[in-house]
Each structure stands twice: as structure tokens, then as C-alpha cells.
Amino acid sequence: MRCSWCGDDPLYIKYHDEEWGVPVYDDRIHFEFLVLESAQAGLSWHTVLKKRENYRKAYRGFDPEVVAKFDQKTIEELMQNKGIIRNRKKIEASVNNAKVFLEIQKEFGSFSNYIWSFVGGKQIVSSYESIEELPAKTSLSEELAKDMKKRGFKFLGPVILYSHMQATGLVNDHIVSCFRYKEVSEFK
């Protein structure tokens, strides 16, 4: 049995089975998820997953050093790219966020060090019986959002950041009857 949110959609199933909830320590993957989750605001995650490969190309493999250097010309090119979500504020936020991301890497040695410090370096393992119990945000995601906003991040509030925490394994929100629940907790 798997978490019911992925239904029978092959794209969701692959994401659920291979990525969601697996602890991430690679900064580039963290940056990828931050860009995608920010782009997803107000849309479905499925919409973003379908465009993920287009984002990888458009965002040069999600290299924050490259994205931080995107200029107005590049932003205009992204606005014409039908393969991504063409929202100027979200695109501009991604460039801004790349710059802030690099500042955090300098301060903490890596973005991973920074974000994992919010959970004391250990995955929080939930014990939800159904997806209806899953919160949209928590006091911890609110604390993270407040700190990230103070540092200059945009389009990353407590709901989006809780999604990030779930996606990158800071929390394991697989329901207890899901076959990935135990596997993800032991993945560390």
C-alpha cells in the first residue's frame, strides 16, 4: 500500500516511490525543489512535475550560481518558454532566491546544513494513519519561513516550505501503512 495522494498517476507514483520523503543533503536538489515549489504556488504539484524536465533545461540543471546570474534578457527568455510556468514574479523570485541561497551556503557551509539545523539534523518521523491528518504547515515550517523571509527569500511561505520539508525528507509524512514509511525512515 502507498499514500493515497498519488492515486494511479504514473508520474505521482514514481515521485512518491522514489523521491518524496527521502532525506536530501545535496544543495542542488534542495535548490531544485525550492524553485519548483515556489513555481507551484497556486497550482497543482502535478502541473509542476510535468514541467520538471523543461525546468531543468531552462534553469541550467538548477545550478544556483548560474541562476543567480540570470539577467533581464534571460528572464525575458524564460517568460517566453512554454515549457515552464511563465509567471514573472515567480521567475524573478527564483533568481533572487538563488542569490540568497548562495549567501546561506557561505554562512553555513551548505544550504543543507542550514535547513537540517531546523530539525536538529534528524528526520522528523510522523505517524499519520491517513492523508487527511497531514498538516499543510506546522510551527516549524512557520519558523523556517520567517527566517528565510528575513534572509531575503521570496515566494516561500510556511505551506510551500512544509511541502519542501516533506519532499526532501526533513519530515517523513508517509502514512504508517505505506510501504515507503519504514523504508524512508531507515534511508538516512
Tell me the mean pLDDT in the region 87-116.
98
Q: pLDDT per residue over 128-182, tens digit each? A: 999 999 999 999 999 999 999 999 999 999 999 999 999 999 999 999 999 999 8
3-state secondary structure of 15: helix
Grid cell locating 142:
512557520
- Are residues 20 and 33 in contact, defined by beta-carbon separation less than 8 angstroms? no
Grid cell locating 174:
508517509
Q: Which of 5, 15, 92, 183 is catalytic?
A: 15
Q: What is the pTM of this model?
A: 0.95
Instruction: List, in order of start, the domains of the chain with CATH numbers.
Output: 9-187 (1.10.340.30)
Q: Which of 12, 20, 32, 37 is catalytic?
A: 37
For 95, other C-beta atoms within 10 Å of its C-beta total 21
Q: Which of 45, 92, 142, 183 is catalytic?
A: 45
Q: pLDDT per residue over 43-56, tens digit each? A: 999 999 999 999 99
**Among 172, 148, 187, 143, CA closest to 31:** 148
Q: What is the pLDDT of residue 3?
A: 94
Q: Is 15 a catalytic residue?
A: yes
Q: Is 37 a catalytic residue?
A: yes
Q: Which residue has the cell 534542495?
A: 30
Grid cell locating 176:
504508517
pLDDT band at 187 (very low <50, low <70, confident <90, very high): low
DSSP per residue, 89-115: HHHHHHHHHHHHHHHHHHHHSSHHHHH
